[in-house]
Amino acid sequence: MGIVSRPNVCRTWPRAVNLLDRYIFRNVLGSCLAAVGLFAFVLMLGNAIRDLLGYVLADQLTATTFVRLVLLLVPFTVSYALPMGMLTGVLLTLGRMSADSEITAMRAAGISLARLARPVLLLGVLGFLLGLYVNFTAMPQARLQYQRELADAVRVNPLRFIVPRTFIRDFPGYVVYVGDKQGPVLKDFWLWELDSAQRVLRTVRAGSGRFDYDETTNTLLLTLVQAQVESRNTRAPEDFSTVPLVGTFEKTEQIRLPLDQLFGASRVQQKLKWMTFAELQAEEARLAALAVPPDQRRQHERDQMKVQLVIQEKFQNALAMLTFALIGIPLGIKVSRRETSANLGVAVALALGYYFLTVMVNWLDRHPEYRPDLLFWLPNLVFLMLAFWLFRRVQRM
């Protein structure tokens, strides 16, 4: 009987292990997707309120445009939500399995910790590849398209931006207030010109005025009627002992307020973080080919380092998917909690520590001699060493 039963055991064992792999992979994947969705929603909500709420209240965005802009925020928020979601999903699933003694039963059946970790590591590798695609392709393209569509939406009717009885602070260096508006005609108009320290340099008050839009230069043209201008000392604008200069005008020349500084031009200036991998490589090659005078060499090195830091940050953010999967395996087993809030708190604390180390490295972008591009490996190396130490401890349990 014993001789006959062994082949059955041998045939059954691989099936059981494969079933176990699928069980762990499916549960971790479901938890990770839910966690990524949660974090992405929170980040997307914050970005939408910060970037779009003012335009919605000013009736500058249609419902269709608003929804499309929110959808374009998804790749941007997902790029940050993926690592946190991976860590949270692993902690939630393995913590629950450990609390339910499933991990103990698997190890009692002779399944090693490394064997249990295999489906989670596979998910971490897939997450790393997904992170590379999101960071180097999907997110830059969506972010650039987001800025373009937002600029185009405002350009359709830029005069909607002027909201009566509201202090408008979006013009760099200016604060605008309009008591009433009827089409392009303004009533009770106020304008304060500020310096770099946000001190008032000039105050303009007019009984009425008119806004026109120059589409070729993307500029608002302001003409004031019955205006009074009060100018202060530019060196000491808060010195009220000095009598300000006051002038009155029946009608002023057109004041130009460029909207490019507000919403970007129709050709949005592409930031380094919005570039794809191919564009970053092209920018790196362009900087390397420049003939730089000796007095500008240090600034040139900083510019080159900024490109390297963007590349490293995107790569390291994707690698964090695998790193967080590795550290989540022993930590989830060791914590042994089924409470969602506790595991979520552990995940957020670890993710904040990781991003804090990343921000510290970013502070060195103006000091290329410290090689911050190499220091970007530090957060992942620290967490990988922590994962290795936790693996050793869990194996001894």
Q: Are 146 and 172 within one domain?
A: no
Q: Is residue 102 part of a domain?
A: yes
Q: Higher pLDDT residue, 90 or 14?
A: 90
Amino acid residing at 282: A
Residue 157: per-residue pLDDT:
65
φ, ψ for residue 371 (rounded to 5)? 50, 60
Q: Which residues contact 282 (CB under 8 A, 6 or more apart)?
A: none
Tell me the average pLDDT across 142-168. 77
CB of 96 closer than 8 Å to CB of 344: no
Say whether pLDDT at 265 is over 70. no
Q: Describe the crossing of helices 378-396 and 113-133 by its angle, rounded to 10 degrees.
A: 160
The verdict on 139 and 255 lying in the same domain is: no
pLDDT value of position 142: 92
pLDDT, mean over the chain? 81
Q: 91-115 in b/e burial notation, b at 16+ Cβ within 10 A?
A: bbbbbbbbeeebbeebbeeeeebee
Confidence of residue 185 (pLDDT cuts 50, 70, 90): confident
Query: Residue 204: pLDDT above 60?
Result: yes
Do residue 31 and residue 126 come from a single domain? yes
Q: Would you say residue 266 has pLDDT above 50?
A: no
C-alpha gyration radius of the chain = 29
- Residues 203, 152 share a domain: no
Q: Are residues 148 and 168 in the same domain?
A: no
73 lies in which domain range? 12-156+298-396
Question: Are residues 140 and 134 in contact, defined by beta-carbon separation less than 8 angstroms?
Answer: no
**Are 210 and 126 in the same domain?**
no
Q: What is the pTM of this model?
A: 0.71
pLDDT in tens, 66-93: 889 999 999 999 998 999 899 888 888 8
Rounded to whole angstroms, the Cα distance separating 230 from 246 reads 4
Residue 293 lies in a domain: no
Does residue 34 sit in the same domain as residue 146? yes
At 216, phi and psi to the nearest 5?
-65, -35
Same-domain status, 168 and 152: no
- Is 275 part of a structural domain of the chain? no
| Buried/exposed code over 210-232 (b: 16+ C-beta within 10 A; e: otherwise) | ebeeeeeebbbbbbbbebebeeb
pLDDT digits (tens, 9 = 90+) for 208-233: 888 777 767 777 788 888 888 888 87
Q: What is the percent of the chain with per-residue pLDDT over 70, rounded to a whole number? A: 86
Stronger pLDDT, 268 or 233, i.e. the higher one: 233
Q: Please state the domain count of the chain.
A: 2
Give 288's contacts (C-beta < 8 A, 6+ positions apart). 304
Residues 245 and 311 in one domain: no
For residue 369, pLDDT over 70 is answered with yes
Q: What is the pLDDT of residues 22-54, one digit of tens each?
A: 888 999 999 999 999 999 999 999 888 888 877
- Residue 3 belongs to some domain of the structure: no
Distance CA(99)–CA(287), nearest Å, equals 55
Beta-ladder partners of 208: 187, 225
β-pair type (245-251, 185-194): unpaired
335 pLDDT tier (thresholds 50, 70, 90): low
Q: Is 319 found in the same domain as 234?
A: no
Q: Is residue 121 part of a domain?
A: yes
- 152 and 183, same domain (yes or no): no
- pLDDT at residue 137 tops 90: yes
What mean pLDDT is predicted for residues 170-183? Answer: 80
375 occurs within a structural domain = yes
Query: Per residue in 100-122, pLDDT tens?
Result: 888 888 888 778 888 888 899 99
- Contact between 335 and 91 (Cβ < 8 Å): yes
Residues 199 and 339: their CA atoms lie apart, in Å, by 52
Average pLDDT over residues 17-23: 80
Last residue of one domain, picked from the residues 245, 262, 279:
262
User: Please, which residues bridge with residue 220 across strands?
Assistant: 213, 257
Q: Which of 262, 282, 314 is the last residue of a domain?
A: 262
Range ranked top by mean pLDDT from 89-93, 102-106, 319-323, 341-345: 319-323
Q: Is 56 within the bounds of a domain? A: yes
Q: Which two tokens stand for residue 267?
A: 């050709």
Q: Say how far apart CA 188 and CA 205 lie, in whole Å.
A: 7
254 and 314 fall within a common domain: no
Mean pLDDT of 192-216: 82
Taking residues 164-186, what's their average pLDDT? 80
Whether 279 is in a domain gets the answer no
Instruction: Indicate whether 156 pLDDT > 70.
Output: no
Look at 111-125, 260-274, 301-315, 328-342 and tell me which has the smallest mean pLDDT: 260-274
Q: What is the mean pLDDT of residues 382-390?
A: 86
Angle formed by the axes of helices 2-57 and 139-156, nearest 10°: 20
Averaged pLDDT for residues 288-315:
86
**What does the pLDDT read at residue 296?**
84
| Contact present, 325 and 126 (Cβ < 8 Å) | no
Give the separation between CA 142 and CA 209, rounded to whole angstroms. Answer: 39
Mean per-residue pLDDT, 156-182: 77
| End residue of a domain, out of 234, 262, 290 | 262
